[in-house]
Each structure stands twice: as C-alpha cells, then as structure tokens.
Amino acid sequence: MNFHLLHLRSLKTRVTLFTLTIFMVSMWTLAFNTNRMLHADMERVLGERQFATVSMKAEEVNEELERRMQALENVAHRVSPALLANPAALQALLEEHVILQSLFNGGTYVTRTDGTAIASLPVSANRISINYLDRDYLAAALKEGRTIVGRPVLGKSINAPILGIGLPIRDTKGLVIGALAGVINLGQPNFLDKIAASHYGKTGGYLLIAPQHNLFITATDKSRIMQPLPAPGLNPMQDRYMQGFNGFGTAVNSHGIEMLSAAQRVPVAGWVAIALLPTAEAFAPINVMHQRMLLTTLFLTLLAGALTWWVLRRELLPLFKAARSLATQAETDQLPQPLPLTRQDETDQLISGFNRLLQTLTRREESLKESEEQHRRLIDNSHDVIYTLTKAGVFTFMSSAWTALLGHPLNQVVGQTVFTFVHPEDVAVCTAFMQGVMATGQSLEGIELRLRHLDGGWRWFHTNAVPLKNETGKVIGLQGSAMDVTVRKLAEEDTRIAATAFESQQGMIITNAEKVILRVNKAFTEITGYTMEEALGQTPRLLKSDRHDAGFYGAMWASVARSGSWQGEIWRQRKSGEQYPEWLSINAVKDAAGLVTHYVGVFSDITERKISEEKIDRLAFYDALTGLPNRRLMIDRLQQALAATARHHCKGALLLVDLDNFKTLNDTLGHDQGDLLLQHAARRLSACLRESDTVARVGGDEFIVLMEDMSQSDQEVATQAKALGEKIIDTLGQPYQFGSSSHYSTASIGITLFDGAQQESTEEPMKQVELAMYQAKAAGRNTLRFFDPQMQAVVTARAVLENGLREALEQNQFLLHYQAQMVGGRQITGVEALVRWRDPRRGMVSPVEFIPLAEETGLILSLGQWVLETACTQLARWATRAEMEHLTVAVNVSANQFQQGDFVEQVLAVLERTGANPNRLKLELTESMLISNVEGVIAKMSALKGRGVCFSLDDFGTGYSSLSYLKRLPLDQLKIDQGFVRDILIDSNDAAIAKMVIALAESLGLSVIAEGVETEAQRDFLAGLGCHAYQGYLFCKPLPLEEFEAFLQRA
C-alpha cells in the first residue's frame, strides 16, 4: 500500500473519511441514545424501589417514637400537683408502669419546673436532685409546653450517648407544673439498631440523620454514629434532603463516590431516613450491556472502513498512476509530454482532454515570452514605479524604480500585499481606490498615500491604476504607476502647521499623528518647566499626572477622533514634580483628504481659578439629605451664640437629640426607609422650634438644637429647654407612616446650658451635651437629662486613671507588698502578695481605686498575670534560702482571670517558667466566682489541685455560697473576712458568723484563717473560737520585699 495516498488531499481518502463519518455518527448516536434511555429507566425503577424501602424504615422509626411518646403521655395524665409534692408516691406511680422500662432502656424521670429530678425509674440515686434543664427536650417541655425528641448527648448519670423525649406535665388549668422524660441509651440495644444492622444491597446501607442538630443519629456504617453531618455543598442530594425533599436521586458524596439515594422524613422527630447504594452496584447490569454495545459498534465501524477503502483503491488506481506521471514531469524543466491512455472509460477521457489542453498552452507560452521582453525594456527605463496587483492586493510585478525610491529589494516586495507598505491611516483610502477600479473596470482619479521606506520613514506617492483583465475580459487585478510627491507634501504640511501653531499665545504643543512632540512655544516652557529641547521627541505623557485613569484619556482621544477637537480641565505635572490644573484644548490638523496629520494643543494654567473654586466649595454648610444645617454651620452658629451671650450677659441652651434604635430600622427596613425617617424627624424637629432657634443634623441619627436669645436666669433657661425637650420627645414619638406600615421611634436628649463668659470655645458645650445624652440613654432611653459638672469630672478622672493604668502596665510601675500570715501569733507560715501602684505623678495609688477599674476595662487580666508571675518568681527565690523555704505565697485571682478558658494552662506555664513549688502556691478565690458555672470552677480547681496548687476561699461569708457545692470544691482553707473581724467583740452577729465559719471549716476538714486582726483582744477571741491562724496589722502590715525580709529575720 502507498501510504502517501492517505494524505487528506487524496480523493480516495476524502471519500473514505466522508463515508466512515456518516456511518460512525449514525451508529454511535444510536448506541449513545439507547444506553442513555436504558440508564434513565434503570435509575427510575431502582430509585422508586429504594424510596419505598426507606419509607418503610422511616415509618417503623416514627411508630416506635410515637409509641414511646404515648406511653409517657399516659403516665403524665396521672401526675397531679399533689403527687409532684410527694416524691415517694410519684416513685410508686412510675414503678406501676413497667412498660416504661422496656421502652426507655436509659430510664424515665420526673422533674419539677426548675428541671431538678425528683423521681426516677429505675430508682437511681445518681439521677435524683440533678438538674436537667440544660437538656433541650426538657427545656422545651418546661418552658414551651412542647413534646419533642431531643438532641443526642452524653448522659449525666449514664456515661453513654442518650436520646431523650420530654413531655410537659400540666395541672387541670393546663399550666405546666413539671416534666416527664424518657431516656433511650444509644450505647445499649434499642429500636434504632434495626437501622444500624440493616444493609441495602451488597454494599449499601441506611442513615438516620437529624438535620436540626446537624448529626448522624445512627447508620449502617457505625463510624458515622453521633458524628456531625458533612458541610453543605459536599453532597447535593443530602442538602436537598435536609431542606425537606422526600424522594430519590443520584449524587457524588463527600468521599467522592457516586451514590443512588432515597430519603423519607420521620415526622415526629424531624429526622430523615436515607437509603444509600453505590451506583457501581446499582447500574452494574446496564454497564455490562453498554460495553457489549460499544464493542459491537466499534467492530461494524472498522469493517465498513475496510470495505470502503478496498473498493475506492481498486476503482481509482488508474487515475493515481496518471497523477504520479504528471508530477514526475513537472519536476523537470522540459515541456510536459502527453500522457498514455490505458483504459476505455471516463479516466481515459479525462487524460485525453488534458493532452489536447497541453498542446494549446505550449503554443501560447511561446508568444507570451516575446511580448514580455518588450514590456520589460520599457518599464526598466521609467522613473516612476510600475506595478501589478492581484484582486487581493498582492504584488505580482514591481519595477526597479521601487528599489531606487523606497530601498526595498524587489524579491522582498513581489508576493507581499500592498498593505504591508501602506501607512495604517491610508489603508482605507487605498482599499477604496482598488475596489473602485476593479468594480468599475475603468481608471479612476489617482490618490495620494504614504509608503514605508526601508529605513522606517514614510514617503508620499501619487498613484494611478487601470484594471488588469484576462482573455475573457474579467478583471483579475490592477496595473498602475506611482510617482514620488514627498517634497511637495512636506511643503504643504509646513504651511498648515505654521498657520495653526501661531494663532495662540498660550501654552502650545504640536505633535504628529503618532502624538510625538514636534514643536512647543515659549509659554509651554514657562508653565511646565520643560525646555523645547527636553520636550521634542517625547509624547504628551511627559506631563501626565496620577490624577486620571486610562478611561479618562481614552474618552478624551475618542472625542478628538470623533469631532476633531476636545477641551476641558486636566491635571498635569511640571518638571519640578508639582501637579497643577490646566484648561486644555486639542485640535486635530487634517490634510486635504481629511486624514489627521498633526495635533495642536493649547493650554493655560488655572491654578488660581481652582483655588477660588475650592473656597466656594467650602461654603457648603447644609446636609444633603435633610436640608438642615450641617455640623460645620452649627459650630459656626454656636460660636456666634457664645459671643452674643457674652456681650448681652444672657444664656443659651444646647440639646443633642439621638434617635433610639435607629440602626435596627436601617437593618430591618433598609437604608431607604432610614433616610425617610431622618427626613420626617428633621421636619418634626423644625416645627417644634422658635424662629430664633437652630436645628442641625450632626451625625447619622443625631440632631443638635441651639436655643438663643434666652433669659439671664439658669432656672428659666433650664425650664424652657426642658419644655422644648419634652415637646421634641413627644413629637418624635408619634408614629411614622411609611406607605402602608407604621414605625415608632423614640429619642434620647441631652441638654446643657452655656454662656460666652464662661466658655471660650464650642468644644466644651458639645462634649457636655454628648455626656448628658449618654446619661439619657443609660436611663432607659426616651427621656432627657441635663449635663451635671460632676458627671464630667467623674468621666475625666476615670479616663485619666485608665490611661495611667495602661501606662503603668507598659512601664512596670507596679510592685508587690507582702503581709505575713501567722499561726499562734508567733510562727510565720506564709504571706499574701498584695499589688501596689507607684505612680510617678500621684505617688502610691490605693488598690481600692485602680482594682475595680482594671476589672471593668479588662486590664485585670494583664495585671493578674503580672502578679502571679512576680509572686511565683519570688517564691522560687525564697525556696533557695533555708529560713524562708517553708513560706507559702497567697495570690488573689479575679473572677475575670479565673474564667479565662486557658487559666489552668497559664498557671502551669508560670510555675514551669519560674520553677516555683506548686505546693507552696495558694490561690485565693472569692465567693462571686462560685455563683455561676460551678462545674467549670470545680474542673479548673481540680486540674490545678492535681498538680499541687492550694486554694483558699477569700471573704467567706460575704456572698451567697451554697453548702451543697461548697463541699465539692477542692479547697484547703476558708478565710474569715475582715468585715466580720472588725466588730467581732461588739457585734454578736459578726461573732456568730465567725464561729459558724470556723465550725464549717472543721467539719469539712479545712484550715481557717482570719484577716484584718488588729488587736490582741480580737486574736484572743478568735483563738477561743478555735481559729489560730491570723493576718493583720497586729502582726505585720503589707511591706515591700526588702522590709518584709527584714521583718522575717527579726521575727
């Protein structure tokens, strides 16, 4: 086989490919559509069957849940308020219903309205008295009166995952008086095991999910049980099921496996049951059929191709032999010879016709050679360029004058299109000229155009052309001549430039059509700073600033191209780098044909005018939305009012009106409605005022009212301002009608009085009225408050103290004092570390001043960390000295500090860094920490207790400690507050409390220490009660480190 015949130009190849293409498209389309329909039918049948199966599963689960709810409801109907008050009788009632134990393998219990369990089946001491109000199913029953299936959680008395059902217990009036809850232990056999133990197909299974809890309840795949659902978007079908879709479908799951799934909801619990089957198993039969069909189609395609190839090769072989013979002759310089005739068919007729054509062409070729030689001698002697073009504009002949005038060798011109050498702006003119000659078949008036010289420059030519026709008279191209007119065109150009350039005495710049600067005038240099020599050869981008983007310049030049000119304001940059505004006019200079040859720019510096405009712009004093004066105008008028009150010895008033909850309106109804409310409020405010008053919008939802020309009496002015404020509150509190809906809004108003004699600037009354407005907000809104000077003093002092506190932390102005803790009045067993602040300006600042502020601002976290670090560092140092190694160090821990999630880690990290002995560290906690999150407190204390850290309960007896959880705390010591010790000798209540604390500590196995012991009589009285550990000024006041160590040596 001749493989070169496989080339796409081969007739045999093309026919073969065409036949095969039709056959393949038909066969493969039929196969594809058949397979697609079979696949769709199979998916529908399997999906419907799978949906029916999962619906049965869902119904089974729903019936089991309803059965359990009904059992609970039967018991709840028998529970009365009297029965709830008698736990023993209630317990007996539960034990009568034996079925509850079979339905709820995790037990059943009854709670009061506070969530505390009072009866349990089976009887469990671990469950009685435990509060279950944190369980969602119990909270729904008690607070909302609803029966729900709860979220699976870890049981409190059962160390396993559980599922709870809560049912409200009601009295005869329908009021909730308690709750009955049933618990299903998911760690033990239960009715959901039917789901987990079931398989669908060989590799499929079932899921039971809770969309509302984002959780797998149970599944054939045990690893998924109690796990969170995949994130939305990973499984489209699962997302649809979670949105309420009941049905079936195919999708790729989060593991990348395509699954056929079906889902049905479990109504009573809001769950969804899902059956899953990999499509690899589901569609296995149809896939085998598909493979067989594809193999059959492929075989038929190959067979058809082979037969087509064989038939065509046999029939076209003589024609191929003739083609090879012609190709061989064409490769030689000899004249083609006639081809032999081998067959009496259509092929021989074709070859015979070719032989006759060959004879005719040979005769004509000889006559053409003679004519061409004569024409060449004439063309070579011409000074103009002689050329011929095809209809497509390709040069087929070029005289030697082209090389003389434009420099291009002829072998680089012939075969190229004329547009290779024509200036881009002249292409359209050239194209129109060529088309005109060929369309009319006649010579047209010549055109002038630019042609590219070999050196890259452009020369002007005037060209004429006539149509070039073949023997039949059909136009096949052009034949023309071109004369160099560059000198004349340059002269004309100079005349036009001179006539345009010097019409203006402003800054002027002249460029060519490519925007290269050719000339500038003296004013250009004076304005821009660039000399003519620096500007020539550059483009106007030399003056470009960064004020405009590409879109601005694009629009500017588009205007020039469209209308021939542009003028407007533009920012430029001088040589010095200074940016300035200028008024620029650009005009395009065109030749006789209307083509742009140059651009002339005339400009002037408008800096002074812009300065004037900016001054005018600054006079904008009004708010665009409401039409009211803005803050700037209000400040100006307040300044004038201050001056006027000083001159006339009278007073004025300033009211700051803030719309309450305005952000809520914006967020719910949108900013359009918010703007509408502001406009309505502005009109209402204006209607409330006297003619001499001013109202301005100074912020988003804030307005200021300025009252002038008032009395000299503070009382009268305050009365008038209050009356106006109350009128404004009443007016703004009226409903606002927005279309078909109404909106209600209130206002908080701050009021301050002013007079120019006492206030020199507007800043003070503005600050005062703002403070007063915030006081109105704090008072509950929809009210007004007057500014109180004491208010500002407190705020100012607090701000100063807060700034000082922050500086103290940054500049290490804190230090620790140590107060001894004694046993028996003689032996020093430990110290309490007490923080002190030594301010460079104020001296020693009392902890009573800065500790509450540190708590409020959150700085207590950094301060507490510093105290702990410093105390532990000192503890580690004392451990190296024999006379001090026995000392313990007590450190106070604030509630904010203790509530940090990583508090345990922080303490352990400090101990590790400092090397302090944790057995010698005592953390003092206050009762306020124990009010909430008792379990969390116990967990943190136990974690540190396990590492050796000791705990003391400070200020015991001043709070609301519950003995029920006090005994659960891993405490080492109770501390009697100094408030009880101070009057212990004269106040029987204080003495009784101290005695109670000492007895309680003894019963709990804790040590006890009294603080604030200042007299021997107090010590002796405490010793008589059984307290022998003391801390107070009787023994030692808080001392700096050096003084305390000296005291210890003396003791």
- pLDDT over threshold 60, residue 917: yes
Tokens representing 457? 């420059």
Query: What sign does the dihedral 358-360-363-365 (CA atoms) show?
Result: negative
CATH class of the domain comprising 382-484:
alpha beta
- Fold assignment, 626-787: Alpha-Beta Plaits (3.30.70)
Angle at the Cα of 160 from the Cα atoms of 255 and 271, rounded to 5 degrees:
50
- Domain 190-284 part of CATH 3.30.450.20: yes
**What is the C-alpha separation between 437 and 477, in angstroms, rounded?**
9
pLDDT at 336: 62
The beta strands (E) that lie in 359-446 are given as 385-390, 395-398
In tens, the pLDDT along 710-749 reads 888 777 888 888 999 999 999 999 998 877 778 888 999 9
**What is the C-alpha separation between 94 and 100, in angstroms, rounded?**
8
Q: What is the mean pLDDT of residues 581-590?
A: 92
Number of residues assigned to the chain: 1051
Packing angle, helices 1016-1025 and 988-1004, rounded to 10: 50
Q: Which CATH architecture has domain 860-1036?
A: Alpha-Beta Barrel (3.20)
381 versus 229: the higher-pLDDT residue is 229
pLDDT at 165: 93
Strands 702-707 vs 148-149: parallel, antiparallel or unpaired: unpaired
φ, ψ of residue 657 to 5 degrees: the values are: -105, 120
- Fold assignment, 489-614: Beta-Lactamase (3.30.450)
Q: What is the mean pLDDT of residues 1025-1046?
A: 94
- DSSP per position, 369-380: HHHHHHHHHHHH
Residues 6+ apart with CB under 8 A from 981: 990, 994, 1010, 1011, 1012, 1013, 1018, 1022, 1032
- DSSP per position, 852-879: HHHHHHTTHHHHHHHHHHHHHHHHHHHT
Angle at the Cα of 732 from the Cα atoms of 730 and 734, rounded to 5 degrees:
75
Tokens representing 359? 């004879």
**What is the C-alpha separation between 434 and 418, in angstroms, rounded?**
11
Q: Which residue has the tokens 């004309």?
A: 492
In tens, the pLDDT along 75-86 reads 989 888 988 888
- pLDDT over threshold 70, residue 374: no
Residues 6+ apart with CB under 8 A from 35: 286, 289, 290, 293
**What is the C-alpha separation between 728 and 766, in angstroms, rounded?**
19
CA-based end-to-end distance of the chain: 120
Q: What is the mean pLDDT of residues 908-915?
A: 95
pLDDT at 350: 67
In three-state secondary structure terms, 529 is coil
pLDDT at 504: 58
CB–CB of 228/165 below 8 Å?
Answer: no
In tens, the pLDDT along 95-148 reads 888 888 888 988 899 999 999 999 998 887 678 888 888 888 898 999 998 999
Strands 176-185 vs 161-170: parallel, antiparallel or unpaired: antiparallel
Residues 6+ apart with CB under 8 A from 5: 12, 13, 320
- DSSP per position, 470-518: -TTS-EEEEEEEEEE-HHHHHHHHHHHHHHHHTT--SEEEEEETT--EE
Stated as kind and residue range, the H or E segment containing 250 is: strand 247-252
Q: Which residue has the tokens 């703002």?
A: 770
- With cut-offs at 50, 70 and 90, classify the pLDDT of residue 4: very low
Which residue stretches of 172-283 are H helix? 193-196, 236-242, 279-282
| Domain 77-185 and domain 626-787 have a common topology | no
- DSSP per position, 630-697: -HHHHHHHHHHHHHHHHHHT--EEEEEEEETTHHHHHHHH-HHHHHHHHHHHHHHHHHHS-TT-EEEE
CB–CB of 728/747 below 8 Å?
Answer: yes
Average pLDDT in the chain: 84
CB–CB of 845/837 below 8 Å?
Answer: yes
CATH superfamily for 77-185 is: PAS domain (3.30.450.20)
pLDDT at 1047: 92
**What is the C-alpha separation between 206 and 194, in angstroms, rounded?**
10
In three-state secondary structure terms, 99 is helix
In terms of average pLDDT, the best of 315-324, 739-748, 791-800, 831-840 is: 831-840
- DSSP per position, 565-630: EEEEEEEEE-TTS-EEEEEEEEEEEE-TTS-EEEEEEEEEE-HHHHHHHHHHHTT--B-TTT-SB-
In tens, the pLDDT along 787-796 reads 877 655 665 6
Burial grade of 883 (CB within 10 A; 0-12, 13-18, 19 or more): exposed
Q: What is the mean pLDDT of residues 285-300?
A: 74
- pLDDT over threshold 60, residue 620: yes
In tens, the pLDDT along 491-541 reads 777 766 655 555 556 888 999 999 999 989 888 998 899 998 999 999 999
In three-state secondary structure terms, 981 is helix
Residue 776, CA atoms < 13 Å, CB-side half-sphere: 29
pLDDT at 5: 41
pLDDT at 326: 64
CB–CB of 578/563 below 8 Å?
Answer: no
Long-range pairs for 561-570 at CB < 8 Å and ≥24 separation? 561/588, 564/588, 564/590, 569/606
Q: Where are the domains of the chain?
A: 77-185, 190-284, 382-484, 489-614, 626-787, 860-1036
φ, ψ of residue 2 to 5 degrees: the values are: -90, 105
The beta strands (E) that lie in 349-446 are given as 385-390, 395-398
pLDDT at 965: 66
**What is the C-alpha separation between 767 and 327, in angstroms, rounded?**
103
In single-letter form, the type of residue at position 773 comes to M
